[in-house]
Structure 1
Amino acid sequence: MEGAGAGGPRLHPAWIVAVIGFVTLIGAAGFRSVPSVLMDPLHTEFGWSHGTIGAAVSVNVLLYGLISPFAAALMDRFGIRRVVVCALLLIAAGSGLTVFMTQAWQLMATWGVLVGLGVGSMSMPFVATITGRWFVRQRGLVTGVLTAAGATGQLVFLPLIASLAHDHGWRVPAVLVAGIALAVVPLVWLFIRDFPSDIGVTAYGAEPGNDPGVRTRAAGGASRALTVLGTIARKPVFWLLAGGFAICGASTNGLIGTHFVSAAHDHGMPATTAAGLLATVGVFDVAGTIASGWLTDRVDSRYLLVGYYTLRGLSLLILPMLFRPSVEPSMWAFIIFYGLDWIATVPPTVALCREHFGADGPVAFGWVFASHQIGAALAAFGAGVIRDVQGSYTTAWFIAGGLCAIAALFSAGIRRKSPVDGVVPV
């Protein structure tokens, strides 16, 4: 609620945009939850190796990241609604067409390219754009809530997809995800607006003369994305953020998100049980990411990142000892902790991009997020190869744990922005 008119307090439109954004991100999360569940069914039906399927996942997550900065700039140029609607249509097409595939290159084209482009066009920069335009007050909290939408999508879809794939084959959940993506399209078109000023209001909590919700004339999408990259690439803080976030992607989406179910199945755990555990990660991720958003409004973001990466690395080092045919209490402890930490890194990273790069923050975060997906792509492919060569994922868990320690060091090396001249001390 904000303000009171003749009819009393009313809901600020920013909250409606946030709710529709949350629903939209849940829809996009649906297909991203499919790879880890369908890896073994695809391997069984087509005989494709874990490395081949992991390569398709790599194409997906790589495009998911590389398109992000351009998507943020395109949202500036053409509007949030148009970009997000096109993204949902790509996801629906890619997911639906997988039911006709018979060869590995078709998996790359549908699951990899089409869906990767779609989810990349409405990924984390979508969150940064909404919060940057529509919110001043509670910005960190809303960033955490919207970021958690991906985990909520995983929570909603993962057990359902695992059950459908087990009972009816992998094609049924692929069609389901396509239908859900199409169902979200009218919500976006009817309720999302590009700027608060488009409907005659200010951003939530904006002070007079300091309103980020006023429509501005934007440069071309691709040219602005590249121009921003040229500017931020000269600042050490960008490389520290990008390096840490690449490791974040490798240790979450790329490794756990893609290979956890398969790794658990290697130790005798039913795939449906493992999928349920991964969905539970989503339950706790909602709480962890919202809490991280709340903390980001109150605690130095650099310290938060150091803590998140350090604890994540330690948990990955002990994971190989926790796999059993049944779920033991120690595995539950890992799942709960990893859920709380899963994407808690996003709110402080968005805040640091906003602090250091100002109005270019959403596009800058798009490039930082691109590094996240590059790391995820390398891990998705690399862990699959390790599994094919060594017969287990143990080495992959150890490598990821060590990388998280490096990410913590990167975060500790970030300097505070000077309040006087706006130059980042080095």
Structure 2
Amino acid sequence: MFPPNFAWGAATSAYQIEGGWQADEKGLSIWDTFCHEEGRVFGEQNGDVACSSYELWETDLACIQQLGLTHYRLSLAWARLLPDGTTRHVNQKGVQYYNKTFGDRVRLWITINEPYVCAKLGHEDGIHAPGLKEKGTLAYVVGHNMLRAHAMAWHSYDSGYRAEQRGAVSLALNSDWFEPLDGDCSEDAAAAERELSFTLGWFAWPVFVTGDYPEMMRYAIDAQSSRLGYTGASRLPKFSEGDPAVLGTADFFALNYYTSRKVKAGGGREQTLSMKCDRDAEDVLDPSWPVCGVSWLAVVPHGLRKLLQYIKDTFSNPAVYITENGFAQAGPLQIEDAQRCEFYKSTILEVAKAINEDGVNVCGYFAWSLMDNFEWADGFSVRFGLFHVDFSDSNLTRTIYRSGQDYARTISTYRPGK
């Protein structure tokens, strides 16, 4: 059902678990600053302590071993490594914590996680750090610069480290699956395609297809700009000949998938600059899809299979790692989390179908998340973990959920050597 070398993993993120926000000469990140501003996060919570993984990393390692993971995805806090944001001062205590010199043991690298979320939620919607609301302009510039930075990092690894370390480098792209609200309506079908262009295509098209943004995306942005009398250069930047080439700078496709949406045309026709207006589409939840934990997260395992098929067909059948996928729990704690158990069972089955029936080259699956953590603007009110973390306990005790036990059994069944 799964390839013998399939990667069975779980994922975490530095700010969401580490804590130790001022420990050992660490600098400030935009999330440190953002969370300390009033009204930014649920309950005025922050990641100053979080799961205290900076101190309790051995406890986390025990959780990893209990699950039997073959792979663990973590992130590096650059503010811990480069406290002033430049390479003029490298914090050796941060290097020691991560063992930054472990390139000889790491085979899979991600340069940037979810550039769409960083650009849109952080610079257009203002609900993520740094909390800016520059409608219809800044997100495109931020996304462009992240692609340029990714390309520089990929070329640096390719020329200076690949031959010796034999690793692979990509960037992790998040996307919902989008389908027309009315399957017989051509306008809705076109709107769903625009949504895919403006989310997955925004970053995947330059890297995997043409070295530039989707034509549909550029046309829509320029058309809206013209309608509003916008003058000057395009709001969607162009790549310069002096930049490192972005095309081909992904050795595999890293996908973060959580949910699916139905799309109808005409969602952005008000006369203003914004990404919503550029897309001219509105996405909605299908009422037949159950919602878990948070309002935006409908449980649609079959949407992942459809998205994997789309990636195979659109981006020349790349090797795919599902680098994040999970189920939210909110409200009263449920260690016997039967709904999450069913979610993982159904989702992993859809991944198996994508591999065995659709011929998608899926190489790994990483559950989000190893443990409950700081979930950005939702703080600690939402729980995605395979392990529960008791944030009211000074010891931050980890307790495995039933879903974690089930996932461990799945891994035991299919991991290499079985």
Same fold, TM exceeding 0.5?
no
TM-score, reference length from structure 1:
0.27
TM-score, reference length from structure 2:
0.27
Please state which structure has a larger fraction of its residues in helix.
Answer: 1
Higher relative contact order (CA 8 A, sep 6+): 1
Please state which structure has a larger fraction of its residues in strand.
Answer: 2
